[in-house]
Amino acid sequence: MTFAKIRSAMFQIHMWVGLILGVLLVMISLSGSILVYDDKLAELFNAAPQATTAGMRMPLTMIADRAREAAGDAGRGQVQIVLPQEPLDAAIVRFTRPAGGGEGMRGMARSEGARPAGPPGQGGGIQVYVDPVSGEVLGTRKPGLPPAFAFLHQLHGSLALGRDFGRPLVGWMGVAMLALGLSGLILWWPKRGQWKYAFKVRATATGLRFHRELHAATGIWIFVVFMAVSFSGVAITFPQTIRSMVTLGAPAPKPAFDLRQGPKVEPVENVRRLGADHALVIAQKAMPGMEVRSVTVPARPTQALSVAMASRFGTTATVYINPYTGAVIGARDPANAGGADSFMALQRPMHDGQGNLGPIWEFLVFLSGLAPLLFVITGTIMWLKKRKRRIPMSTMTEDVAEEAEAA
């Protein structure tokens, strides 16, 4: 088979995959673009209360007690204290219903620099904002994002079709995006002497030629970011498969405990459990140099204290502490574990544009989510014009394009 025939077949695949899946791809990508800035947009429309005093922070236990008084009956069960990260930031104390321990762990993810496992804004509980210096209660609200952003998370993560069906479907849409990107690169590859025209839309381009050059130039300029975001989306959806590919089939190490609930501990009678302040000090000694983001005190006597700390790429390391003995009984820091663990930990901040990859990457991820809309529009226009003029798009060379425009 000649290269021309291979290219022609690839063109047909590229065109029909784009035309058939275009609407779904646009829904996923546009919602992803908005979600790059969801925290900032939510803050813009509903700003969190700010502290008004400066000085030494109160003990975490006292902050939690002030919040519990303000929360009333809702201030029971698991408590998570999110430490202020900037001057005049409030401390956030989140209470989770006793029956919703798992939701509390997922709700913790946003403050720890990673996306929650489920749609934000769902789940019970209450969060209280406290001035960390004076102890003044500044306000209360439900955890999570506003309903509109929660829906966008559902749309982006599963097309709002549920985790069992919608999430794998979105993963396969990511595979389709990778296929479109790779085939698009091959179809874009210019002939000898045409490289100077391959990265721009010429001022003289009109009609079919304009859409063709706009489609191609946009694709090549956003190619690296588009492929990275698409691949990371597939890795997030199918982590076991991608990890197996990275490790050439080597099995992933089995976790020593349930990652949602943390390691189990044996309750000790007549021993008072350690509080958040003790847990913070122990975690800082276990992982020196890392900034503490939050401390979680579980409601159940069989659960460990957990301390979330800022790690590489803006991800989270977690230290688990026996509340009866103060012993560190487990620690997770995938980003610094090396190998496949670090590679997989990078995928979430790369996909979201979050973490500490910087505002430039964040903006590029935002742009990559807008690109499929332009691809679908220009691709559809080219297809319609081709049908109207009966021009085989797979043979749309510069000469053919110019002849078509002159017709």
> DSSP assignment of 46-80, as one string?
SPPPB----SSPPPHHHHHHHHHHHHGGGS-SEEE
Which among 282, 322, 325 is positioned nearest to 303, based on CA atoms? 322
Tokens encoding 337: 């574990």
Minimum mean pLDDT range among 31-45, 112-126, 135-149, 236-250:
112-126
Tokens of 299: 């409601």
- Segments forming the whole domain that contains residue 200: 3-37+155-250+358-406
DSSP 143: S
Of 85, 120, 145, the last residue of a domain is 145
Average pLDDT over residues 295-302: 93
pLDDT score of 352: 94
pLDDT of residue 77: 87
208: nearest Cα among 20, 17, 406: 406
Please check whether residues 105 and 183 belong to one and the same domain. Answer: no
Residue closest to 3 by CA, chosen among 189, 241, 152, 237: 189
Global confidence as pTM? 0.85
Which of 110, 145, 180 terminates a domain? The answer is 145
Of 107 and 155, more confident: 155
Total domains, the chain: 2
Tell me if 305 is assigned to some domain: no
The residue written with tokens 């209660």 in the block is 137
pLDDT tens per residue across span 52-85: 898 999 999 999 999 999 999 888 889 999 999 8
67, 107, 231, 266, 300 from 273: Cα distances, Å: 20, 24, 44, 12, 11
Judge if 70 and 17 occupy the same domain: no
Q: What are phi and psi of 267, to 5 degrees?
A: -60, 145
Domain assignment present for 329:
no
> Residue 114: what pLDDT?
41
Give the pLDDT confidence score for residue 145 in this predicted structure. Answer: 81
Whether 150 maps to a domain, the answer reads no
Q: Please check whether residues 241 and 371 belong to one and the same domain.
A: yes
Q: Are residues 174 and 26 in the same domain?
A: yes
Assigned domain for 219 exists: yes
Question: Which run of H or E residues covers position 139?
Answer: strand 137-141
- Residue of 259 and 65 predicted with greater confidence: 65
Identify whether 263 is part of a domain: no
For residue 164, is it within any domain?
A: yes
Name the packing angle between helices 223-237 and 359-389 (round to 10°): 100
Same domain for 131 and 12, yes or no, is no
Q: 99: which residues sit within 8 A by CB, 6+ positions away?
A: none
Q: Is residue 242 part of a domain?
A: yes
- pLDDT at position 318, please? 96
Are 11 and 130 part of one and the same domain?
A: no
The CATH number covering residue 103 comes to 3.10.450
For 153, the enclosing helix (H) or strand (E) is: helix 147-158
Which two three-digit tokens encode residue 190?
A: 């210019």
Q: Which of 114, 145, 176 is the last residue of a domain?
A: 145
How distant, in Å, are the alpha carbons of 37, 294, 339, 349 from that of 247? 33, 32, 8, 21
Looking at the structure, tell me whether residues 159 and 221 fall in a common domain. Answer: yes
